[in-house]
């Protein structure tokens, strides 16, 4: 596809560039060209504000078949891009909350995480943050005698993260689901600016524990680019194996949860057990079931010895037919399909507008996968199949997961086939380059994960921006629930399995 | 139906025999730390300086398992000559001060709240509150319900309402935005009740320490009965803690 003419600067995934080489446009040009790229099929990767020489700037990182970046000075108020272009929606709310910059005419202007802005200017939402969340959250309401509201959360029924769901229903049919988050805001982005450099990898891998490898990779790649560190091929193989193990464990767990939600207990239990087996492979590799402590700037902290490699191979050989059989059982059972098919549909058009990523997007026919589009680590040597489905329902989201599980198992099998040598005694890195920008993308198991790091004139952190795939996909869940029975909410919720902590940061 | 049976035969019985039989974890697992109090001072200082969690007190020769995320940096820096992580996953304690240790831990079963054994030893229903962690602790609590651990065989379950609960299990560093929901859940739990803190974030703020958005230690908000360290605690650590404390 062609993006047409624009002044945005092309960049590459995981490469640091001087901030001065990024196009700086007048706001009107910046907005018009960004909208033009999106209108021609592009998508928003990052859109955020950052401080620059006592002022505030906006930066947009967009993708089509390549990555583009540009900046502009941030007006105190500007005509909202969301009015013309849905993908900017949540980013504009976030900028308003973080920096107090007002997008005029924004159609859904509400808090994202419920915290004061960092400039100390008047709060866009009129909140006093000494008061409890939700403050002035203007919940969407539907009028009518037959309408009722169902409020769920923040503390949910099971062992699950907190968030607030509010359904407007007529009878059992959901007219709208509003999702209000922010309960788990721990100030990650600010902490990354202030903490000692030695702590950064630990903060990064704890952004979302089920995506520890994904976030560690984005962080490590950013630091490697800024410091000019090279990563050897062995480390890349190990990091790729770890990311695929993370993908498998989570997908298998989700398929088990979906099975449990339709009361099909055998696969629910088997998947729950097998997920543990995959987590135990990460435990074998680095001593932590979630891969914490494995990925570090410069490479990996633990080697893949032949003993461990052969043990992992053996475990994969044992598990592969079991996984295949259990997933076949789940996906071939008529009563399961009756519940999955047609449930929570999102059309391809809506998915495009919302900017859905990962399995949620692929279920709607959007084949985008960072491993294929902007490969990192070892992925440029691997064939990543397109896993697009077309129906956009629970069955499609489950099917994408099933396919990816088997593909990831095959990837790991191939990567474990040969001995892998890597350095593991990581030296302290050099100083990050000053006045620089690096954007890293990885296909975490939920989809496109991105870190964007800006350094100041001393090489210190100027801005550390994190975009979890759930940032795009929460609106997909809301869309899935429209005109759906409220009793289908748990099934749809698990078919997305979005990250609360990755969103709340 | 045939494929259900076929899968059932293939899966077999997977439940661990713990606590009758011990469960072995792989060599790289980092459990209870042991400190060599005789190690050279410069080695202790180097470990304390390298610790990202400021968990090591070089002069007192102790490590605070509440702050520790068990990353193993100190073991690597000292080549095991000051700190060594054992394979012992039984690291839970009943007093916060016991988290600061050289490696010897008191017998958890002999804690000072023996009445909880009488009350909850045969049936324990817990309500879980996620309070802004990274979800790994939640995942490794959820996994206790899977066939390998089968928590329900011990009479322990997670319930959907605080009114049905004998106590609460808290994970995460208790964000500012989560504090009220946590306190309301605690207040809604009938007495007598127990409070269990799971994971580094709940014990000390963990990797998020220093953020103004969090609470550094659940015990600053609620009286905590059981402290389970780790990042996240291994499911066996959680299981051992529950069984030792209540049975």
Which of helix, strand or coil describes residue B72? coil
Q: Number of helices and strands (H, E) in chain B?
A: 8, 10
The residue whose two tokens read 């997305």 is: A496
Classify residue B222: in a domain, yes or no. Answer: yes
Q: d(Cα A369, Cα A347) in Å, to the nearest integer?
A: 19
Q: What is the pLDDT along chain A (505 residues), one digit of tens a residue?
A: 444 568 899 999 999 999 999 999 999 999 999 999 999 989 999 999 999 888 999 999 999 999 999 999 999 999 999 998 889 999 999 999 999 999 999 999 999 999 999 998 899 999 999 898 888 888 898 888 999 999 998 888 888 899 999 999 999 999 999 999 999 999 999 999 999 988 999 999 999 999 999 999 999 999 999 998 889 999 999 999 999 999 999 999 999 999 999 999 999 999 999 999 999 999 999 999 999 999 999 899 999 999 999 999 999 999 999 999 999 999 999 999 999 999 999 999 999 999 999 999 999 999 999 999 999 999 999 988 888 889 999 999 999 999 999 999 999 999 998 888 887 767 666 788 889 999 999 999 999 999 999 999 998 899 999 999 999 999 999 999 999 999 999 999 999 999 999 999 9
Classify residue B148: in a domain, yes or no. Answer: yes
In sequence order, what are the beta bridge partners of A56? A51
pLDDT digits (tens, 9 = 90+) for B49-82: 999 999 999 998 999 999 999 999 999 988 889 9
Touching check for A290 and chain B: CB below 8 Å? yes
Q: Number of helices and strands (H, E) in chain A?
A: 16, 16
What ipTM describes this predicted complex?
A: 0.93
pLDDT digits (tens, 9 = 90+) for B101-131: 998 999 988 888 888 889 998 999 999 999 9
Classify residue B128: in a domain, yes or no. Answer: yes
Q: d(Cα A388, Cα A404) in Å, to the nearest integer?
A: 11
Could you list the beta-strand ranges (E) of B7-155: 33-35, 56-57, 62-64, 83-85, 100-101, 124-130
Classify residue B203: in a domain, yes or no. Answer: yes
Touching check for A501 and chain B: CB below 8 Å? yes
How close does chain A come to B158, measured CA to CA in Å?
A: 7
**How many other CB atoms are found less than 10 A from the CB of residue B223?**
10
Q: Under a CB-based contact definition with an 8 Å cutoff, are residues A40 and A64 in contact?
A: yes
Domain range enclosing B159 = 109-246
The nearest alpha carbon in chain A to B205 belongs to A186
Q: What is the dihedral of CA B52, B54, B57, B63, to 10 degrees?
A: -70
Check B138 against A206: CB less than 8 A apart.
no
Classify residue B68: in a domain, yes or no. Answer: no
pLDDT digits (tens, 9 = 90+) for B124-183: 999 999 999 999 999 999 999 888 888 999 999 999 999 999 999 999 999 999 999 999
Classify residue B235: in a domain, yes or no. Answer: yes
Among A155, A185, A207, whose Cβ lies nearest the Cβ of B213?
Answer: A185
Q: d(Cα B52, Cα B207) in Å, to the nearest integer?
A: 8
Q: Under a CB-based contact definition with an 8 Å cutoff, are residues B39 and B81 in contact?
A: yes
Q: d(Cα A444, Cα A210) in Å, to the nearest integer?
A: 10
CATH topology identical between A3-104 and A188-496: no
Chain B neighbours among A 178-197 (CB < 8 Å)?
182-188, 190-191, 194-196
Classify residue B175: in a domain, yes or no. Answer: yes
Q: Does domain A3-104 have CATH number 3.30.460.80?
A: yes
Total domain count for chain B? Answer: 1
The ranges assigned to domains in chain A are 3-104, 188-496
Classify residue B63: in a domain, yes or no. Answer: no
B5 contacts in A (CB within 8 Å)?
none
Q: d(Cα A95, Cα A73) in Å, to the nearest integer?
A: 13
Question: What DSSP assignment string belongs to A134-191?
Answer: TTT-------STTEEEEEE-SS-SSS----EEEEEEETTEEEEEEEE--TT---HHHH
Q: Report the CATH number at residue B171.
A: 3.40.50.12280
A161 contacts in B (CB within 8 Å)?
130, 135, 138
**How many other CB atoms are found less than 10 A from the CB of residue A190?**
18
CATH code of A188-496, in short, is 1.10.645.10
């Amino acid at each position: 596809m062609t993006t047409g003419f624009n002044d945005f600067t092309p960049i590459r995934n995981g490469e640091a560039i001087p901030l001065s080489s990024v196009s700086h446009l007048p706001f009107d040009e910046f907005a018009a060209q960004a909208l033009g790229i999106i209108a021609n099929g592009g998508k928003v990767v990052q859109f955020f504000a950052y401080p620059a020489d006592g002022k505030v700037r906006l930066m947009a990182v967009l993708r089509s078949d390549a990555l583009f970046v540009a900046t502009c000075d941030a007006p105190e108020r500007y005509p909202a891009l969301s009015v013309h272009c849905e993908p900017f929606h949540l980013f504009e709310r976030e900028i308003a909350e973080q920096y107090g910059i007002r997008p005029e005419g924004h159609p859904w202007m509400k808090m994202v995480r419920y915290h004061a802005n960092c400039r100390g200017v008047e709060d866009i939402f009129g909140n006093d943050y000494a008061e409890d969340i939700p403050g002035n959250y203007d919940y969407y309401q539907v009028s009518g005698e037959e309408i009722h509201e169902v409020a769920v959360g923040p503390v949910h029924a099971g062992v699950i993260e907190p968030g607030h769901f509010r359904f407007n229903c007529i009878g059992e049919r959901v007219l709208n689901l509003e999702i209000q988050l922010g309960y788990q805001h721990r100030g990650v982005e600010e902490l990354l600016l202030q903490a000692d450099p030695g702590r950064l990898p630990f903060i990064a891998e704890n952004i979302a524990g089920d995506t520890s490898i994904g976030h560690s990779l984005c962080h490590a790649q950013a630091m490697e680019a800024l410091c000019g560190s090279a990563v050897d091929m062995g480390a890349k193989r190990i990091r790729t194996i770890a990311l695929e193990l993370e993908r498998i464990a989570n997908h298998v767990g989700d398929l088990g949860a979906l099975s449990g939600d339709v009361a099909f207990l055998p696969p629910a239990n088997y998947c729950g057990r097998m997920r543990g087996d995959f987590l135990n492979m990460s435990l074998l590799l680095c001593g932590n079931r979630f891969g914490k402590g494995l990925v570090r700037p410069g490479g990996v902290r633990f080697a893949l010895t032949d003993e461990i490699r052969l043990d992992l191979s053996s475990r994969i050989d044992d598990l592969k037919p079991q996984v295949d059989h259990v997933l076949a059982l789940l996906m071939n059972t008529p009563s399961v399909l009756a519940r999955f098919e047609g449930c929570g549909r999102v059309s391809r058009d809506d998915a495009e507008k919302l900017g859905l990523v990962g399995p949620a997007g692929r279920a709607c026919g959007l084949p985008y996968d960072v491993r294929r589009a902007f490969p990192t680590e070892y992925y440029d040597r691997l064939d990543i199949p397109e896993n697009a489905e077309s129906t956009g329902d629970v069955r499609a989201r489950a099917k994408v997961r099933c396919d990816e599980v088997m593909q990831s198992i095959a990837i790991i099998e191939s990567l474990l086939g040969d001995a892998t040598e890597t350095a593991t005694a990581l030296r302290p890195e050099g100083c990050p380059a000053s006045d620089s920008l690096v954007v890293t993308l990885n296909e975490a198991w939920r989809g496109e994960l991105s870190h964007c790091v800006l350094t100041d004139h001393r090489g210190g952190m100027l801005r550390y921006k994190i975009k979890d795939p759930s940032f795009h996909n929460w609106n997909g869940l809301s869309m899935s629930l429209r005109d759906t029975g409220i009793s289908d909410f748990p099934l749809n919720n698990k078919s997305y399995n979005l990250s609360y902590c990755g969103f709340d940061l | 139906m045939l494929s259900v049976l076929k899968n059932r035969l293939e899966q077999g019985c997977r439940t661990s025999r713990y606590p009758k039989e011990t469960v072995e974890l792989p060599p790289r697992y980092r459990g209870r730390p042991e400190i060599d109090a005789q190690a050279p001072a410069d080695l202790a200082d180097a470990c304390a300086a390298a610790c990202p969690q400021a968990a090591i007190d070089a002069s007192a020769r102790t490590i605070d398992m509440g702050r520790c995320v068990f990353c193993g940096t100190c073991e690597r820096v000292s080549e095991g000559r000051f700190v060594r992580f054992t394979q012992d996953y039984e690291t839970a304690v009943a007093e916060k001060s016991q988290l600061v240790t050289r490696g010897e831990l008191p017998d958890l079963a002999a804690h000072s709240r023996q009445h909880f054994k009488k009350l909850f030893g045969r049936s324990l229903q817990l309500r879980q509150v996620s309070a802004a962690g990274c979800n790994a602790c939640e995942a490794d609590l959820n996994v206790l319900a899977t066939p390998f651990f089968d928590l329900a065989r011990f009479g322990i379950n997670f319930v959907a309402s605080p009114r049905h609960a004998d106590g609460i299990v808290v994970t995460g560093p208790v964000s500012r935005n989560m504090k009220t929901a946590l306190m309301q859940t605690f207040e809604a739990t009938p007495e007598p009740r127990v409070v269990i803190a799971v994971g580094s974030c709940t014990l000390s703020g963990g990797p998020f320490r220093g953020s103004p958005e969090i609470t550094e230690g659940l015990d600053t908000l609620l009286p905590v009965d059981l402290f389970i360290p780790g990042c996240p605690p291994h499911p066996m650590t959680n299981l051992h803690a529950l069984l030792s404390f209540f049975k």
